[in-house]
Amino acid sequence: MQESNIFIEIAQQQGFHGQQAHETLKTIGQQLHTCAISIQSPFYIFRTGGGGTGQGGQANRPRLLLAFPSADDALAFAQHQNLRPTPRLLRVSVHQLLAILLQRPAITALILVDEHANMSQIGKYPHGYRLERTELLTMLKGDV
């Protein structure tokens, strides 16, 4: 299956038109290109237990999905932020990240971390391309 089909299929399951999902991918691809990010580049995210809902009943807490350009960058961020001693990483595509953002309303935004971002700023998110869930939904509705 082609990578883009993952996002298009999820968008259709959510009630959006396949053609509009394709146009959304094209628009996001252009935005990423201006940020020197390839839509084909793999990214790394932290895998959390419990379906990504966190612990202590925080399933409804707004969340950000941080995606790093390399496993080393992800681990450096985890180390500087004092996250779990051995975080588990998943390698995902941009298309998969967009599908996750669409499927999980608790995730309010996706940040594709810049490969030159400073990972050592404690308590701050690294810089990168940010896509709000509401912006993605607007694109899928064709309201852009």
107-113 vs 128-132, strand pairing mode:
antiparallel
HSE-CB for 60 with a 13 A CA cutoff: 0
The predicted pLDDT at position 80 comes to 79
Token duo for residue 8: 């298009």
90-124 residue pLDDT tens: 999 999 999 999 999 999 999 999 877 666 666 67
64-73 residue pLDDT tens: 999 999 999 8
- φ, ψ of residue 15 to 5 degrees: the values are 100, 10
What are the beta bridge partners of residue 135? none
**Separation between Cα atoms, residue 98 and residue 112, nearest integer Å:** 11
